[in-house]
Structure 1
Amino acid sequence: MEKSIEMGTRRFGRVNWMGLQTLAEREVRRFLSVWTQTLLAPLITAGLFLTVFALAIGPSRGDVMGVPFVVFLAPGILMMTVIQNAFANTSSSIMVAKVQGNIVDTLMPPLSPLELVIGFLAGAVGRGLFVAVAIWLAMFLFLGIGLAHPIWTLTFVVLGAAFLGGLGMIAGIFASKFDQMAAITNFIITPLSFLSGTFYSIDTLPPAMIWLTQANPVFYLIDGVRFGIIGRSDSSPWLGLLVCIVSTALVLTLCWVWFRKGYRLKS
């Protein structure tokens, strides 16, 4: 005799592993299916950044943190590219689904808010890791830059992709039109990326700018990856790890709350 299932109880247990795996695979396949745009293009863009700075500033700029300017710059370019792509993955996935009206295909299956967050995050972290590996291989081949601390590098890359992937979910849920998404990208994400110590050491900044930079969580992501790759940083990697974990946890908690409430998704 079959046992009756109480209302509100999911037949497959506490975790819908099949649904979670399906959502995660969909998010990964989204960027792999257009790899020339999502993986090759960021690699070329990062290479162009490094080439332009090397030609325009490199010869006249002295060492930064005891290493050539291009070597100092490379980890920051890598991390900046990772977080921009992680943000783009989740924000575009949710935004396009809302505009096309098929977000219901994601919300109707028996997936909990936490499973939705993890599923979307899988695509962001996967894309971030693919981009990071591709750019680092190019850095190793052309600049001879290795990994001073591989575990630190991997940790900050994953945290950076998760943090910006969470911000991408928030932006995708909040925005209802593409111009709103463009505004979020241009006025929030881009300044966070560029004013984060990617192109400079904070030792060269005036006091007010140092305070502003240190208030930016992305600074600790950039600084952490720089420590992992070249072994030099502006701040303690342990402080950066703490700031990044707390910031990521807060962002992902807000994502969970919004998915749970169906904020700007079910109306």
Structure 2
Amino acid sequence: MSDTQNFAPGARRFGRVNWLGLQTLAQREILRFANVWTQTLLAPLVTAGLFLLIFTIAIGPRRGDVMGVPFTTFIAPGILMMTVIQNAFANTSSSIMISKTQGNIVDTLMPPLSAGELVLGYLAGGVARGLVVAVAIGIALVAVLGIVPAHPLGALAFVLLGGAFLSALGILAGIYAQKFDQMAAITNFIVTPLAFLSGTFYSVEALPSGLYQVTHLNPVFYLIDGVRWGVIGVSDSPPLLGFAVALAATLAACLAAWHMFRRGYRLKS
């Protein structure tokens, strides 16, 4: 069997990983956002700070405690996770979309990388961006609000899982969308509502019965709730249940992304 056949996408199995290619793709995706850090890292931090400031000024003094903690403390972890998932999604979706529109996606598809390695490489960039944003916001929460994480490892686990889930969704969106208009529609009508309507700024216990049930079908709710538990020690649902649901959703999204890469769906003319 020739070397070309030996490295055909999808042909390899566990134990035969192109580590150099995977590392190169991951480094490329990380350098993509690091080189324009004012846009990809600084801007989200400013936005998160503005969200926290505006809600604190407008609602905080009158809202009182939520689940036994001050309103500002309650919404801070939700804003952190909302920023993480938005940036993780943007990193992978924009990378693939730009490569497709510029016609250089072939530079990623031609090297001897399997579908699984492509997924992992793109995921690395999205998760890294989300993690950097989370750490920066976490430091700000400690310095400004004095919030010390109640379960730091638990918070980290949910941040990594949230970054992976939305990075995988970003891969799906980037592959599916053929125009930037379609990508904007996915962001505005799917990703943003998922982030805002998942208990970011409120406890789901206050919702009517119907909305309460619908919210519990949303994996992002469990991510936000899990980070809230990790940061301030309170949550609307059991953390283990939330982790299990979010993990299952992440694996499903990654599997769908693997399938798209393996088929070359909307990637090969």
Same fold per superposition (TM over 0.5): yes
Residue matched to 2:29: 27
Residue matched to 1:77: 79
Q: Does 1:8 align with 2:5?
A: yes
Residue matched to 1:126: 128
Deviation at 1:127, TM superposition (A): 0.2
Spell out, residue by residue over 1:68-97, the C-alpha distance to the aligned partner (whole angstroms, 9 max, x if none): 000000000000000000000000000000
Residue matched to 1:218: 220
Counterpart code for 1:255? A
Q: Using a 3 Å threshold, how does the CA distance of structure 1 residues 142 and 187 change in structure 2: closer, same or farther? A: same
Counterpart code for 2:6? T
* Structure 2: runs of 5 or more not aligned: none
Task: Return the alpha-carbon distance in structure 2 between the equivalents of residues 82 and 219 of structure 1.
Answer: 14
Q: Does 1:227 align with 2:241?
A: no
Spell out, residue by residue over 1:37-70, the C-alpha distance to the aligned partner (whole angstroms, 9 max, x if none): 1111111000000000000000001100100000
Counterpart code for 1:231? G
SS at match of 1:211: helix
Residue matched to 1:262: 264
Deviation at 1:203, TM superposition (A): 1.0
Task: Return the alpha-carbon distance in structure 2 between the equivalents of residues 5 and 93 of structure 1.
Answer: 32
Q: Using a 3 Å threshold, how does the CA distance of structure 1 residues 261 and 69 change in structure 2: closer, same or farther? A: same
SS at match of 1:8: helix
Counterpart code for 2:36? V
Q: Does 1:38 align with 2:40?
A: yes
Q: Does 1:252 align with 2:249?
A: no
Deviation at 1:6, TM superposition (A): 7.3
Residue matched to 2:155: 153
Q: Does 1:202 align with 2:211?
A: no
Spell out, residue by residue over 1:191-233, the C-alpha distance to the aligned partner (whole angstroms, 9 max, x if none): 1011100010011110011011111100000000000000000
Residue matched to 1:95: 97
- After TM superposition, the structure 1 stretch with the greater mean CA deviation from structure 2, 12-21 or 252-261, is 12-21
Counterpart code for 1:179? D
Deviation at 1:7, TM superposition (A): 6.8
Deviation at 1:169, TM superposition (A): 0.2
Counterpart code for 1:178? F
Superposition pairs for residues 180-195 of structure 1, below 5 Å? 180-195=182-197
Task: Return the alpha-carbon distance in structure 2 between the equivalents of residues 182 and 6 of structure 1.
Answer: 41
Task: Return the alpha-carbon distance in structure 1 between the equivalents of residues 4 and 221 of structure 2.
Answer: 47
Asked if the contact 2:7/2:113 (under 8 Å) is kept, the reply is no
Deviation at 1:10, TM superposition (A): 3.7
- TM-score calculated relative to the size of structure 2: 0.96
Q: Using a 3 Å threshold, how does the CA distance of structure 1 residues 117 and 6 change in structure 2: closer, same or farther? A: closer
Task: Return the alpha-carbon distance in structure 2 between the equivalents of residues 264 and 91 of structure 1.
Answer: 14
* Structure 1: runs of 5 or more not aligned: none
Task: Return the alpha-carbon distance in structure 2 between the equivalents of residues 94 and 138 of structure 1.
Answer: 32
Q: Name the count of aligned residue pairs.
A: 264
Task: Return the alpha-carbon distance in structure 2 between the equivalents of residues 69 and 177 of structure 1.
Answer: 40
Deviation at 1:28, TM superposition (A): 0.2
- TM-score calculated relative to the size of structure 1: 0.97
Spell out, residue by residue over 1:234-262, the C-alpha distance to the aligned partner (whole angstroms, 9 max, x if none): 00000001001100000000000000000
Spell out, residue by residue over 1:95-137, the C-alpha distance to the aligned partner (whole angstroms, 9 max, x if none): 0000000000000000000000000000000000000000011
Counterpart code for 2:23? Q
Q: Determine what percentage of the aligned residue pairs are the same residue.
A: 67
